């Protein structure tokens, strides 16, 4: 006999659904309680770490500063968050366990969520401390009955109403926070966030939207999208077949914005296609402050479609990589072992790194080697793991990339590190926890077989820009790999 699923009573009451909703409600309240307790533990840990800071011979103010940095790093690793996130959590904990204790109490009771609490702290940060108690009291009255979206708007209105300074004065101060943020995404794409004055952002958005609409109209009048080159505006330059073939209005806006930002004319390639120039090699520095590309020699000459890697981003498709190589004015070839990717000859004997050795260490590590840090190697420093004055050598086995913050933390706190071979670093926290970091270039290296070592070959090609030299594509194709010396 075929059974039918149970039906809800005609009254609309379903005991199973009611049980699910009750459990969800209890779970939400329990989560708020756990969040509140986490804040208390974080604040307690930071206060204790500063109180028992073990001086390393510096000034008391520096001892406290590095004690805070040290406990921040350790808490970030324990909670598995980025240090920047941990800095925010520590700030929130300090505020909630201090002047905003009433907000923490409401969170512990489950009457507000952690997002409500954060909205209160974010709104209060721009107000004078003398107004914090009043702001918190009025904000909590709204938080108990509003969802987060509505509460965000209510907090903004409350903050503006209580703030003693005029909006114009606050806007003038906020301009100091202007910035551009690059955020990698999947499948060869990325986000570019621009934080600037509202009127400028709106003007850019409106202008780009108008250009996209104008381009679509021009293309429609031509009878076929992408058939003709449309002059949308002198500021935008020529909108090429590549742009028009994007199709949707949103895609057109993205391409037009990219061209406006680049401020460079379109370029025609040998295959007859038109491409918007990339910023990848527009600046003259070598391996500093410009993206770079790593591409296998087989991919470069077209016998393989293996993805290449754009430094600072990640994998990109082979066609895009070859196009970037063709546009690069300089090619750096690195002689490597084809099995594990390690360099075959690096033997500096002085304290200061040679440009070639530094280039390899930056290429190998790619980011700061402190646990959890993602600061780009090009914006970091090269550190002797074992100090030079203690007998450390300027060799690959004793060098690693550390950002300035973690470089100073290594020398001014109880964090300890040692090389364990293969570029691996073993870190020990002041509380005795151990962490291992592996160079980015070695994380996916194939294991070495038990047979004898093969003959060396050029297995990786890195490209950058130093403002001149033979075209990259031609240099990559000339000469036997055995005749190519390391570019060090």
Following DSSP, what letter does each residue of 273-293 receive, concatenated?
A: -EEPPPSTT-S--SSSSS--E
The residue ranges of DSSP E strands in 185-281, in sequence order, are 190-195, 230-233, 237-239, 267-268, 274-275
Under DSSP, the state recorded for 348 is -
**CA 317 – CA 305 distance, rounded (Å):** 8
84 closest CA partner among 99, 95, 69, 98: 69
Q: What is the pLDDT of residue 146?
A: 94
pLDDT per position as a tens digit, 240-293: 444 444 468 788 778 777 777 766 444 444 544 444 444 333 332 222 223 345
Q: What is the pLDDT of residue 7?
A: 55
With bands split at pLDDT 50, 70 and 90, how would you rate the model's confidence at 295? Answer: low
**CA 331 – CA 26 distance, rounded (Å):** 61
Instruction: Give the pTM.
Output: 0.65
φ/ψ of 284, rounded to 5, equals -85, -10
φ/ψ of 79, rounded to 5, equals -90, -5
Better-scored residue on pLDDT, 133 or 467: 133
- Kind of pairing, strands 237-239 and 267-268? unpaired
pLDDT per position as a tens digit, 18-45: 888 888 888 888 999 999 999 999 999 9
pLDDT score of 10 more than 70: no
Q: What is the pLDDT of residue 378?
A: 85
Q: What is the pLDDT of residue 301?
A: 67
190 closest CA partner among 202, 180, 182: 182
Average pLDDT over residues 158-185: 85
Better-scored residue on pLDDT, 364 or 104: 104
pLDDT per position as a tens digit, 300-311: 667 777 777 666
360 closest CA partner among 393, 408, 394, 320: 394
With bands split at pLDDT 50, 70 and 90, how would you rate the model's confidence at 55? Answer: low
Better-scored residue on pLDDT, 444 or 111: 111
Calculate the average pLDDT of the chain.
Answer: 74
- Cβ 239 vs Cβ 216: under 8 Å: no
Average pLDDT over residues 182-206: 83
Determine how many CB atoms are found less than 10 A away from the CB of residue 467. Answer: 10
Low-confidence winner among 33-37, 124-128, 277-281, 294-298 (lowest mean pLDDT): 277-281
């Amino acid at each position: 006999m075929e059974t039918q699923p149970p039906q809800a009573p005609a009254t609309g009451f379903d005991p199973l659904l009611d049980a699910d909703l009750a459990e969800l409600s209890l779970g939400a309240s329990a989560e708020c309680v756990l969040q509140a307790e986490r804040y208390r533990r974080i604040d307690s840990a930071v206060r204790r770490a500063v109180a028992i800071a073990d001086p390393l011979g510096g000034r008391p103010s520096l001892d406290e500063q590095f004690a805070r940095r040290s406990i921040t790093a350790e808490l970030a690793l324990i909670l598995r968050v980025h240090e920047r996130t941990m800095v925010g959590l520590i700030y929130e904990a300090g505020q909630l366990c201090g002047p905003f204790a009433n907000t923490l109490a409401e969170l512990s009771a489950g009457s507000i969520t952690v997002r409500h609490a954060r909205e209160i702290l974010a709104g209060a940060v721009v107000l004078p401390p003398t107004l914090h108690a009043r702001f918190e009291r009025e904000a909590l009255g709204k938080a108990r009955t509003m969802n987060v979206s509505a509460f965000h708007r209510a907090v903004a209105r409350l903050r503006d109403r209580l703030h003693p300074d005029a909006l114009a004065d606050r806007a003038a101060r906020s301009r100091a926070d202007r910035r551009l943020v690059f955020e990698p995404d999947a499948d060869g794409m990325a986000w570019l966030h621009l934080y600037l004055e509202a009127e400028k952002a709106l003007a850019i958005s409106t202008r780009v939207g108008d250009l996209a609409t104008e381009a679509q109209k021009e293309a429609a009048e031509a009878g076929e999208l992408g058939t003709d080159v449309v002059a949308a505006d002198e500021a935008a330059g020529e909108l090429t077949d590549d742009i028009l073939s994007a199709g949707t209005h949103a895609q057109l806006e993205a391409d037009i914005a990219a061209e406006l930002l680049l401020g460079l004319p379109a370029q025609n390639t040998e295959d007859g296609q038109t491409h918007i120039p990339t910023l990848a090699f527009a600046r003259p520095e070598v391996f500093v402050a410009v993206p770079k590309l790593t591409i296998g020699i087989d991919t470069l000459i077209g016998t393989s479609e293996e993805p290449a890697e754009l430094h600072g981003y990640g994998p990109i498709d082979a066609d895009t990589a070859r196009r970037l190589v063709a546009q690069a004015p300089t090619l750096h070839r690195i002689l490597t072992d084809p099995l594990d990717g390690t360099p075959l000859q690096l033997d500096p004997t002085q304290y200061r790194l040679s440009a070639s050795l530094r280039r390899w260490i930056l290429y190998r590590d790619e980011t700061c080697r402190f646990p959890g840090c993602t600061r780009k190697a090009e914006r970091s420093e090269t550190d002797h793991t074992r100090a030079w004055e203690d007998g450390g050598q300027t060799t690959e086995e004793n060098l690693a990339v550390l950002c300035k913050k973690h470089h100073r933390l290594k020398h001014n706190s109880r964090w300890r590190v040692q090389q364990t071979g293969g570029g691996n670093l073993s870190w020990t926290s002041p509380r005795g926890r151990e962490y291992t970091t592996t160079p980015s270039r070695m994380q996916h290296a194939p294991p070495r077989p038990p047979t004898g070592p093969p003959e060396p070959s050029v297995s990786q090609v890195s490209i950058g820009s130093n403002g001149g030299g033979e075209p990259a594509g031609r240099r990559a194709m000339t000469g036997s790999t055995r005749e190519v010396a390391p570019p060090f």
